[in-house]
Amino acid sequence: MAVTARLGGRLDAAGTLPLALWLGALLLTRRRWPLAVLLLSVQAVVAFRTAGLTDAGWVWPVSAAYAALAADDRPGRPGLPWAAGIGLAELAFAGAWETSAGGSTPREALGSLGTEALWLAVLLAAATAYRNRLRWRAELDERLLQAARERDLEAGQRIAEARLDIARELHDVVGHTLTVVGLQLRVAAEALDDSPDEARSALATAQQVRAEALRDLHALVHVLRAPGEDPQTPAAGVFEIAALVDRMRSPELDIRLETAGDLTAVPAPVSLAVHRIVQEALTNTARHAQASQAEVGIRCGDGQVEVSIADDGRTTAQPPRRAGHGIRGMDERVRALGGRLRAGPHAQGEGWLVRAAIPVPGFHP
């Protein structure tokens, strides 16, 4: 009604008011059925115009319905093509009616409808821009949400990996330390009366192992408190394996160590993994195998580092080694570096064998 008065059209209470009420009622359902609302609105305008109840505009009264349909961006609802098609059809009908029944000349009809056609184009362009902005905002929100989900997933994975690393380090360091200290204390207790020097040597070894365990734990705690900083303590590696074997030797268990290749060329992560594998395997041998001999072999060459630990213990006395955290931790260490590990009964008679091969790309000593 306001547009009609603004454009100088006739305001007839018997026609304009019912049309305005009908168009307003239809707009209440424009979000759910925008196409149906536009079609019914256009039909109402056509009916009222051809009946002579109002004479101001064909497109103006249904501008809101056109905009609602053109801005509809729901999947499977091509609102813009429908709005443009209905608008062109309405203007074509209006032109034909104005020149035939309305008494207007073609020039007068063209001038009148040209303004409405321009208004329809501007209206559809504005609705399209609004729809595209809504889509852009929705896509941006989806990207931000996806990025947040990926960050949460990566953080969860890093936390899980860090927990596994901490669990492996604690298991290897604490388990090895308690085993070696227990062995040396038993040697000291047995030799205290007959061989005090041997007892003192065993106690000194226990003290040394305790100090090294405290060093490793201090480095681990430092990494947890200040990630990314140098803990200022040397990491375990292949060069400490000889000292490790010496500490694990006892009157009940003789251990032999053989190495081949250039150990200095082994990268630090691989060196640490080899040390932990030997450490855990010998710890299991001392605790579960009831073995008298063990052999440790480390070979560097052909683009990989191979390590093997074999003992002559009774495999039936070693169930914890088949399902414990130690074997699992060794396998995780090796797989993290792209290698493979086998742990199980020795193929040749009694005993247990742990064998690992870790690739080192570009390493050919």
pLDDT average, residue stretch 28-46 = 83
284 close to 318: Cβ distance less than 8 angstroms: yes
pLDDT digit string (tens) for 286-302? 877 778 889 999 998 88
Write down the mean pLDDT value for the chain. 78
Q: Can you give the pLDDT at residue 8?
A: 46
pLDDT of residue 288: 77
For 68-105, the pLDDT digits (tens) are 888 876 766 677 788 888 888 888 888 888 777 766 67
Predicted confidence at residue 258, as pLDDT, reads 92
Q: Is pLDDT above 60 for 10?
A: no
Tens-digit pLDDT profile for residues 227-255: 555 555 456 788 888 888 888 887 788 89
- Give 120-163 pLDDT, tens digit per residue: 888 888 888 888 888 888 888 888 888 888 888 887 887 777 77
248, 183 contact by CB (below 8 A): yes
CA angle 178, 281, 239 (to 5 degrees): 90
Per domain, the residue ranges of the chain are 2-148, 237-365
Domain 237-365 has CATH 3.30.565.10: yes
Mean pLDDT across 50-66 = 78
Q: How do residues 174-229 score in pLDDT, each as one tens digit? A: 766 777 777 777 777 777 777 777 777 777 777 777 777 767 776 666 656 655 55
Q: What pLDDT is stored for residue 349 in this prediction?
A: 66
